[in-house]
Every structure is written in C-alpha cells, then in structure tokens.
Chains A and B, each alone.
Chain A
Amino acid sequence: MTSDISGAPPSAADLKLQFAPFSSALEAGFWHQLTQKKLNDYKLDESPKCIKGYYYNGDPVGLPTRLTLEFSAFDVDAVTPARCCPAVGTLYNTNTLDAFKNIDKRALLEKEAKEMWNAICSGAALKEQSLLSRFILLTFADLKKYHFYYWFCFPALCFPEGIKIIQQPSLLEAVFSPKQVIALQEAYDDLCVTKGNTAVPYFLIKYTDHTVQMAPLEDWESFFTMTKKVTVGFYDPCTLSQHPGWPLRNLLALLANQWGSKLDVVEVLCFRDRTLQGSRSIQHSVVFQIKLPGLSSNSGCPKSVGWEKNAKGAMGPRMVNLSECMDPKRLAESSVDLNLKLMRWRLVPSLDLDKVVSTKCLLLGAGTLGCNVARTLMGWGVRHITFVDNAKISYSNPVRQPLYEFEDCLGGGKSKATAAAERLSKIFPGVNAKGYNMSIPMPGHPVNFSQATLSLAQMDVEQLEKLISEHDVVFLLMDTRESRWLPTVIAASKRKLVVNAALGFDTFVVMRHGLKKPPASRGVDSSPSCSSASSSPSTPAGSAPSVPGSSLFSNIPGDKLGCYFCNDVVAPGDSTRDRTLDQQCTVSRPGLAMIAGALAVELMVSMLQHSEGGYAVASSSDDRMNEPPTSLGLVPHQIRGFLSRFDNVLPASLAFDKCTACSPIVLDNYEKEGFDFLSKVFNSSHSFLEDLTGLTLLHQETQAAEIWDMSDDESI
C-alpha cells in the first residue's frame, strides 16, 4: 500500500482514481463451520467450493471496507443480512500447508479475472451483477493445532493507464440540495422494493433540481437516452471521503467495455447509507466525475489484481490460532476454570483459586477414599495428582471406587494406582496424573528376610521420600493403620501438609496433621509440659491421658496440633494384638467414603485459603458461631462424623510428645539414621517404638472404643 505515497502532490490534470480495497472479516462461526465441513463433507476433497459473504455501506467513519464471512458462508442460499450486499466467492481448501503454499495464486486470480472479463464482454455481467464482486478464499485448516491459514483475493480488472478524475470527490450534501438528497433516498428505497431486496449493488441515476430517478443497471439502454454524461451509483462499503470502495472497480470495467467510447463524463455516486444516533443519513455519500478510457474486447483480458495484504501490510497469507476456542482439550480446561472462577466471582470474591489449582497432591491409597478424594480434587481444578497403591482392582471395587470399571478387573485386575491415573486423564485431559504401583513398608512387618527384600524396602522408602518431597499435600487414604506410619514420619520431617482420612463402619475421621515449625525454631518453644490432650469427647478410651475442660483445646495453633498417631497409646504394627476385631471388620456404609473423601479435600482447600496455611489455629465446633477465619469458613483440626446420627464434630487435639510417629525423638532418629532407623521399626515388634518414645512407661492396657482404621476393600 505504498503506491500513493509520493513526494509532490499530483496536479489535478493527472489525478488517477484509487480504490479502497476490501479487508476480510471473519466471524469465529466461519472457522467452526469450515472445520465441520472439512471433517464431515470435504474430507480430502480439494475441489473449489462456492461460498458467500457480504458487505455493508453503513459503517461509521474509520472502519475498514470489509467483506464479512460468517458461519452461514457455506450455505449459498442463506439469507444475506438486511441492508447488506452479497458477494459470491470460491473456496480453495487445501489438505496440506505445502499445497496451500504452492498453489499458483497468479493462475487462480487470472482464471477468475478471465471469467469476469468474458461475462463483461458478453454483457452477461449486466444482468448477473454478482459476477462483478466475486472473491477467492484460499485456506488450510490445521485441525491438530486449530491453526487456520488463509488468504483472500478480491479480483479486479485494471485499466492500463488508470482512470482520470475530472471532478474531485465531494460529499453528496455539497453537490445535492436537501430536497435532492431526500428524493435520492426515496428513489433508492423504491428501487430496493422493486428488486425485492434490502440493498442494490449497482444502479443508474437521472436527476433534476427537484427529482431523482433510479433504474437497475440492466436497464441502461432504455434509461439513458443520451450518453454524454451519465450518473451511476453503487452501494459503497468504503468510509473514506476521497476514495470509492472496491466494488466500483469492476463496474467501471464493464461500463468502459460496453459504452466507454460513447461516454464523455461518468458521474459516480458512492452510495453510503448509515444510521447514527438513531437517525439515517446518506448525505455523506461521495460524488465525483471521471473520464472512462475504452476497454475493448479485442485487446484481451486486462491485467488483474486483488490478493489481500496481511496484517503487516505485506503480500502474504494470514494465520489465526483458534486452539483457545476450538481445541476440545483447551475448551475443557477453560470450562473447568470458568466454573471455579464463577464461584469466586459470584460467591467468594477473595478465594485464591491459584493456590488450590497449583497444589500438587499425593494420594497414598487409590481405593474407595483415594478415588473420591481424586474426583473432588478434580472438581477444584487441581492439576497435579499422584496415586500410590500396590493393590489390583478386584470385582467388588468398581461399584464403590468410582475411577474403575468392570473391564479393569479382568485378567487378574489392573494396578489401581496406574488405572486411577489413566482414568483421571480420560475424565479431564488437562490433569497431570501419575500412578505408582508400590507398597509402603510398615512397622512390625519385617523386611529383612533377605538382602533382596531389604533393598526393595529401601527403594520403596526412597521412592516415597522423593514423592513426598515433590508434592505439597499428602493424603493418607490407606486401609491399614500401620501403613500410615511411614508417610506420617516422612511428611512431618519434611514439613508437608498431611490430610488423613479413615473409615469405620458408620464413623469416620478426617484430620490435618499438625505442621511442625521449621527445624531451626523447633525445641525453642516446645513445651513438654503440655504433653497431651484428649482428642475428642467421643473417644475417651484409648486416648492419651486426657485433660478435662475445653479451654486447653481451643485456639491450638497448627504447629501444636497432633497427628493421627498422637492419640494412641499403642504403637502401630501389631495388628494381631487386641485389634483383630477391627481389622476383620472391613466394610463401611457405602456413602461414608464419599463423605469423608470430599471432606478431606475441602479441609485441604480451607487450610490453603487460610493466611497461615497449615499453621492455622484449629477451629472447633464452638467456632461455628464466630467470624470464620477464611473466606470459606472454618479450618478445623479434625472432623469426626457419625453417620448413624448424621452428625459431625470438630475436635482438636495437641501433639503428644510421646507420639510414635511425630514426637521429636522419632523425627530425630529418622533424620539422623534414615533407613537404618526405619528398618529397625519395620523389623521389630511394636514395643520398639513404645520403648523409644517412653510410651511403655505410660502404657496402660486400654483398648480403643472406636477404631478408625477400617476399609471396605475386601480384596486380599
């Protein structure tokens, strides 16, 4: 577009008419429809297709002259929007980018120009005026990436020497009296009615001081009896005051060919018809006069131009990346995000979604609880979920474990951890899910049968340590109590958030473990006197020595909160001793895991929303009436649920300095001796940990009235 940027202003004598080219304008619906056509109709068919666009002459000043294609472009019979002119075009959709690149653009343009020229010479274009405003659209749709390459061409026939302007363009209101303007508008409206359209692309005009007559282009011979000076009008999509729009160009070629030698002066009306501030006006239409050179049929098809420049003003194709709005995976992601954002926008404006979405969650256990926790995490938009489990999917699992199907049970069953991860990706491709089929060594379950078993256990420990390091929150969702011990120790040592869920038959506990202060400050403010506390009024027996009265248990900061083992007076590992009943009873009411799994995730989210995270003071049942500490409400230490009563309580309990999992002496031993210490725990009886922590001294033969370690996982 540098052709008219020259130094000195040209003198009036050699002023040549210049036209405002079309800019292509595509609605998103066009690309959606092209995609559908390519997939369902065209497939590998590259043959040219007929499409339809339209242009409009009512734009406010400043908008480019546009040819618009919308979703209906592929339906040639579709109704053109009111007061718009249709334009018919040819679509060349290539199968490859190479074909798009290599197709002979010059030849495409010349073919189109030749057809137009033939229609002009034969006079067919007089009746079939759509032949004058044809376009070419070249496309390549990369449907893997949803990148669309395209290039428009609006073919125009050129006059070798240009077209001389005799009278400069001026506004209609400067040339016509108000009366004439009104008469012109009425004549045009009448012509529209006669033609049965809401817009007419080309028309003929005769006027006096008081009257305006209009006729369709094809009536030329009868309408113009004398041809020294004729006035032609065209529906002009251009808004520039000094230039006509593109559709005039081929009309002038037609006039020059048919009557050029007979015409002295051609007056052109660039008909512009807009509604501004609710009122219609055509006064800003443009009028000018030209001298048309002849364009003889004998001299062959004139030179043609028309390929559109790209956004950078260079001769080249355009590309639009629509993966955001067309790629189903991206759509799923943005819809999931939108759903969450709605929650923030509408209900909880201060919700920090990024904190939740970016949290990396490690799920130890991919059974009933694991499946339900994972699904709730997905609902919260959590993108990083890792499963650890060593079980295979059995026939009884799918009905209670919503990530598995019957097929998964066949042939001995798939590994739960990997099957769960695969299923998450199927449910939502945006998730980053992994599964580790591995076991977690347990206290009282010796690993020293051979060097091989010992090193296998060591590898498992190292893998678990690595996984816990790589995640932000560890969910303990296993079906045995002992298997929770190792991750409790590792996570406490690494200061990771731990959310623990365990099921009875119709009772459950969901809790967050106390988050120890960073190593440097620990010991300084540890208060051994405050050694233990009752966990909950509902579990008086089996608890550590309890201190009555609730005042001690309110406002416990997160670093002083207990872990799953703090309330126990026996070390884990002796599933044979006094606990057989609980271990045998491995069924829960079916709804329980869903409730507990959901609560575990919601507890995590509430904790993340608290400004102090895992150090948040534990909310208790009494706080239900108070101002909540987060936008989502309370951040309890534990939620204990009783399905028989449809009731939950929110107890809080202090860390126990003789805890077999999180007491300083256990953590010290683990941090100093590592696997050597752990293997001692695995290989010894429970008394090892009880001796170590001093629990033995304190030990009383008590039995838990309520045990929370139960599972409905019957697979053995």
Chain B
Amino acid sequence: MSCGVVDEEEFCRCCRLLLQHSNGVGDGWSWEAVRGSDEGYLKKTLLRSVPAERSVPQKHKEPGSDSEKFDYCHLQTEEQEKQGVDASSDSLRPDAEEEDDGVCGAPAGSSSVLQFEYHILYSCSYRTPVLYFRASTLEGRSLTLEDVWRTVHPNYRLGLQSRPLDAITQQEHPFLGQAFFYLHPCRTEEFMKPLLQMARDQNRQVNYVLSWLSVVGPMVGLEVSLECLKQQQLHPTTPQQLRVPLRGSIQQPKTL
C-alpha cells in the first residue's frame, strides 16, 4: 500500500473486516460468492427516499427521447383509458361502498422511494475497489442513467460531472453480466494516496475498502456509518481467523 492502490488479497481482507463489523451491527452487507470461483463481491441493498424534484420524473417527456420510459404515469392513464381499465369503474373498486376508517392517512408525498443495490468489486486493472450499483422504483422498474443522475445530490453532481470522464456510467457487471451503473475508478488512486499517507504518518492502520467507501459511497447515497469508521481505529489489528464465507455456507443477511 505504498501508493494509492490495493492488491486483491488486501482487498479481500478489508472486505472480511467490513463484513464482520456489519454482521455485528446489522449494517446489511453480505458477501456474494461467484459460482464456481473463489471470487465474489460485497452487496448491500438500501431503500432511499428521494425528494420529488430529484426523483424519477413521471410526467414529462424528454425531448428526443424515443421511448415512453420517462412517461410512466401518462402511459398508465393512456393505457388504462384505451383498455378500459378505469379507476372509477365499479368492478375495480372493491372497497368503494365503505370507506375504511381504520387507515391512517399517508404523509403528504413530497418524496418517492427508490430501491438501491450496491456491489463492491475488485478491479484488477485499476487495482482499487469499484462501486457498482443499480436502482429501481418500488414497482420494479429499473432506473435509467438519466434517472440515476437526477437522484445524485446537487452538491455531488457537479463534482462528478466535471471529471474528465462522467464519473457515473453504465457498465456490464463483470460477474452478473447485467447492466449496472458504476463510479469510475480512474480517480480512486489519486484521492486514496493522501488518505493513506496521513494514516501512515499517524501510525494508524486503515481499512482501505472502508476508507474508500466513506469517500465514494455518499455520492450515490451510500453512507458509511461513523461507528464502522470508529471501529477500524479502535481495532487496528485484525483477527485473521474470520473468513469470507463461501457460497451457501451461511444464510445471507439482508437488510433493507
């Protein structure tokens, strides 16, 4: 770790530590082993409530867009009208006769909820961890890259976009082969170098993956708990006996 990169062995060790701590406090990280290999990745799913103005647009159509993907609500109405599925039709209002007074009103909806799935993988070419993620609505529809950019907090958006390469891009997941988004690792070494140097100056051991995650995670809504970061300072030496569980050996804990 003389420079800003990390080798694969150290990456795995850091992941094991992160997992151990996460399991202790129910932070929701799990290890997904890749079938037929000893490789794998850390995974966490998270629900995020995104303010309406940064959420998936429902009513407008992006100029030049060739599809109705931005226009779910409109399509729904149109479709329902065309097909005769109409909310006012009696057959569709099973509860219509009697209002239920045992239901509490939902708080005014100024935000919408999105499901995010984060994966931490090792990149052999950059020799750094890479953050992959995907997101969908509660209906199960995946977000497009444009949608994802919209969910990024404005404070981070500018910084991410002004990088030489748009930092959030689409990329095929190396293990799953499905389209994911990822934070481009081209700058990782650059920002990790001073961070590691500082730790070394203070004679402090760092968990590379955790430190890296605390920098890149928040950009895409993944906060790293202070507790976790504190933990790594309290316990600079690491228990070697903890192993990343292999496929099927434990039930994957999952927290939403």
Contacts and interface: CB of A to CB of B under 8 A. Distances in A.
A62 B68 CA distance: 30
Nearest to B68: A321
Contacts of B151: none
Given A249-B102, A277-B225, A320-B141, A307 B166 contact: no
Contacts of A310: 87
Interface string A52-76: 0000101100111010100000000
Nearest to B224: A278
Nearest to A276: B225
Contacts of A330: 67
B103 A279 contact: no
B102 A18 contact: yes
A275 B26 contact: yes
A20 interface: yes
Contact of B115 (A27, A104, A159, A321): A27
Interface string B86-108: 11010111111011111111110
Interface stretch (B8-16, B167-175, B239-247): B167-175
A324 B94 contact: no
Contacts of B85: 97, 100-101, 149, 316-317, 319
A90 interface: no
B80 interface: yes
A577 B72 CA distance: 67
A81 B100 contact: no
Interface stretch (B190-198, B200-208, B248-256): B248-256
Contacts of A643: none
A91 to B, nearest CB: 15
A173 B240 CA distance: 39
B144 A63 contact: no
A318 interface: yes
A17 B107 CA distance: 17
B103 A324 contact: no
A314 interface: yes
B152 to A, nearest CB: 16
A357 to B, nearest CB: 11
Contacts of B94: 105-106, 108-109, 153, 307, 315
A310 B76 CA distance: 11
Contacts of A647: none
Given A97-B83, A321-B75, A280 B256 contact: no
B172 to A, nearest CB: 7
Interface stretch (A1-9, A483-491, A586-594, A603-611): A1-9
B62 interface: no
Given A316-B87, A341-B170, A81 B253 contact: yes
Nearest to B117: A27
B215 interface: no
B233 interface: no
Contact of B95 (A30, A315, A318): A315
A584 interface: no
Contacts, number: 212
Contact of B69 (A153, A243, A311, A324): A324
Contact of A82 (B76, B99, B169, B253): B253
Contacts of A334: 179
Contact of B104 (A20, A56, A338): A20
Contact of B91 (A16, A17, A31, A105): A105
B119 interface: no
Interface string B101-142: 111111100010101000000000000000000001111111
Nearest to A20: B104
Nearest to A320: B139
Contacts of B99: 2-3
Nearest to B101: A3
Residue of B86, B93, B103, B223 with most chain A CB atoms under a 10 A cut-off: B103
A164 interface: no
Interface stretch (A212-220, A261-269, A342-350): A342-350
A486 B16 CA distance: 71
B234 interface: no
Interface string B140-168: 11101000000000000000000011100
B47 interface: yes
B142 A83 contact: no
A224 interface: no
B79 interface: yes
B84 interface: yes
Contacts of A192: none
A180 interface: no
B140 A28 contact: yes
B170 A23 contact: no
Contacts of B169: 341-342, 345-346
A27 B166 CA distance: 28
B146 to A, nearest CB: 12
Interface in A297-333: 303, 305-307, 310-325, 330
A83 B225 contact: no
A81 B102 contact: no
A126 interface: no
A5 B107 CA distance: 11
A595 interface: no
A92 B89 CA distance: 20
Contact of B102 (A17, A56, A320): A17
Contacts of B86: 316
A153 B111 CA distance: 24
A628 interface: no
Given A25-B138, A58-B256, A18 B104 contact: yes
B25 A279 contact: yes
Contact of B106 (A64, A83, A279, A314): A64
27 contacts: A3-B99, A4-B105, A18-B102, A25-B115, A28-B142, A30-B140, A56-B256, A81-B255, A83-B253, A97-B83, A97-B85, A106-B94, A109-B94, A162-B101, A163-B102, A240-B104, A278-B21, A278-B227, A278-B228, A307-B94, A312-B87, A315-B94, A316-B93, A317-B85, A321-B141, A342-B169, A345-B166
Interface of B: 21, 25-28, 47, 49, 67-69, 72-73, 75-76, 79-80, 83-87, 89, 91-96, 98-107, 111, 113, 115, 136-142, 144, 164-166, 169-172, 179, 184, 223, 225-228, 231, 251-256
Shortest 4 CB-CB contacts between residues of A and residues of B: A278-B227, A278-B225, A316-B87, A81-B254
Interface of A: 1-5, 16-21, 23-31, 56, 58-59, 62-64, 66, 68, 79, 81-84, 97, 100-102, 104-106, 108-109, 147-149, 153, 156, 158-159, 162-163, 240, 242-243, 249, 275-280, 303, 305-307, 310-325, 330, 334-335, 338, 341-342, 345-346, 349
